[in-house]
Amino acid sequence: MSPLLKSSGVVGLLTLLSRVLGFVREVMLAAAFGAGAGMDAFLVALMIPNFGRRMFAEGAFSQAFVPVFTETKTTRTHDEARDLVAVTLGTLGGVLSLITLIGCLAAPGLVWLFASGFAAEPGKAALSASLLRWTFPYLMCISLASLAGGVLNSYGRFAVPAFTPVLLNLCLIGSIFVDARSVQVLAYAVFVAGILQFAFQLPALMRLRLLPWPRWGWHDARVRRIVGLMLPVMLGSSVAQFSLLLNSNLSTHLGNGAVSWLYYANRLMEFPLGIFSIALGTAILPTLSAHHARQSPVAFSATLDWSLRVMLALGVPAALGMILLAGPLVATVYGHGRFGHQDVAMTAYALWAYAAGFMGFSLVKVLVPGFYARQETRLPMRFAVTSLLVGMIVSVTLVLGARSLRLPAAHVGLAVSTSLTAWINALLLLRRLKRDGVYRPGSGWSAFGLRLAVANLLMSAWLLWREGTLASWLAQGSLARGLHLLQLIVEAVAIYAAAAWASGLRPRHFRAQRLEAL
């Protein structure tokens, strides 16, 4: 087995472990704390440091630090690489310490910024601010962990950074066993998890002799270079984060539970998205880059064509399954303990809306590498900004309309706007790739589409006949729900596969980038 394949397998397995534990975590949180005011307050307190993490630590910083460190490691001495770690660690730690202090002192103001709807309930706002003072330091710890992970990955030590996210899930799961009555313990768990995630990587750095004493180095040319590389990425991601902030803020104006209902539904939608949509997009990027470097436009287009067919063959039935089985899925996964029948129904409504955009999200993951492989980053950003602006307008319009009409499920409008944003982005990307001649659809698309349509229609008809009402699912016990849902999923997969096979679709049609005519 090649070193690259072995490393990819290690990262893949540990990432899968993290996602499975994350799913278990959500199930246990729903059962223990439900979807009331307390859970809403905790999710806002967790969302704020995560907002900074997505925009800074795992986005801009990683993309800026790793190339600079790798270049130093490759072309300079080990002592110089160690010195770069020292000045980056010291400077980053100093800046983040100041940000953490400000964030903890300004917790009430941050809660208002992210959840202005809590202002109508002083107790809820105060609880969220109290929780935030414990969760905000997570931003500093996870940013330092991102630095350590970047160093380890540069030396081919992939296992430790890949396992690190598991620690947060373990801490939150363990906290439920400590105290399942107060969300305060969840904030403590996030605080502890941040420290553990950074500390867990320190022994590996020490073995590489890359754990120097941190040193302030704001004026160091290498630090300035990292900052210079970070700024464009941060500016680009700020639009997406502002959209997230707006939707999150709007949801806090929709009463107790809205934040939680959207959160739980989104987690269900992201599970299959992470398993194959993101994985496929990640896998094709190196291949596309190689075809571009070799100036092989035909192979480049064929790879995109292959990935689109695979995505449609896997994604469409997954999306239809989430729409048709939204109620049973939510009832089976979350409908326990303090997660009541109304919570199940409201979360299922949100899942319908998110699932409608699932293929939009998935197609973006496949189409964006078609730009990045050609080192074209401005167009995807422009399309993302356009779609996000449209989505934000739709969010405000739908929420204001739902509130004026006093609709009971106004939160669904926010999920609808998110799905619409994904579809607009995907269509803009596809249109441009086709217009520029980068992607030329291969032969056999009509037959391929017809076969998929027939298979999905048969699967959907079967599920509609077999599903039953939400009330009938809620009347079953937890074990009965799980077995019933598993049976329906197995039946749906079998019918879809049989119908696709009967129509002439074969595994060889997805075996390589050189597609056969269907």
State pLDDT tens for residues 103-156. Answer: 999 999 999 988 888 888 888 889 999 999 999 999 999 888 888 887 887 777
Higher pLDDT, 479 or 461: 461
At 324, list the tokens: 């048709």
Does any domain span residue 96?
A: yes
Helix 326-333 vs helix 478-502: angle between axes, to the nearest 10 degrees? 140
- Which residue's structure tokens are 């480049």? 300
Nearest one of 194, 88, 89, 184 to 137, comparing CA atoms:
194
Q: How far is CA 113 from CA 110, 116, 124, in A?
A: 5, 6, 14
Residue 454 included in any domain? no
Contact 286, 368 (CB under 8 A): no
Asked if residue 273 lies in contact with residue 362, where contact means CB atoms within 8 angstroms, the answer is yes
**pLDDT score of 515:** 38
Task: Specify the DSSP element, H or E, that contains 175.
Answer: helix 159-178
pLDDT of residue 5: 41
Q: Could you tell me where the DSSP H helices lie in 179-296? A: 184-199, 202-207, 221-251, 258-272, 278-293
Taking only the tens place, the pLDDT of each residue in 6-46 is 554 555 577 677 778 887 888 888 888 887 888 889 988 99
Q: Is residue 71 part of a domain?
A: yes
Confidence band for 276, pLDDT divided at 50, 70 and 90: low
Domain that holds residue 118: 1-238
Residue 92 is which amino acid? L
The conformation of residue 36, written as its DSSP 8-state character, comes to S
As a whole number of angstroms, the distance between CA 499 and CA 493 comes to: 10
- Indicate the average pLDDT of the chain: 83
437 sits in the region (left: phi over 0; alpha: psi -120 to 50; else beta) called left
Q: With CA atoms as reference, report the closest residue to 61 among 224, 230, 249.
A: 230
Note whether residue 307 is domain-resident: no
117 found inside a domain: yes
Pick from 179, 395, 354, 362: which is nearest to 268 by CA?
354
**How many domains does the chain divide into?**
1
The sign of the dihedral angle between the CA atoms of 92, 94, 100, 103 is: negative
> What is the pLDDT averaged over residues 256-279?
79
From residue 126, give the alpha-carbon distance in Å to each of 47, 113, 135, 254: 16, 14, 14, 18
User: What mean pLDDT is predicted for residues 436-462?
Assistant: 89
- Asked if the structure places residue 334 within a domain, the reply is no
* 488 within some domain: no
Q: From the centroid of its chain, how far is CA 484?
A: 28
Q: Return the minimum-mean-pLDDT range out of 69-83, 106-120, 280-294.
A: 280-294
Tokens found for residue 453: 């349509």
135, part of any domain: yes
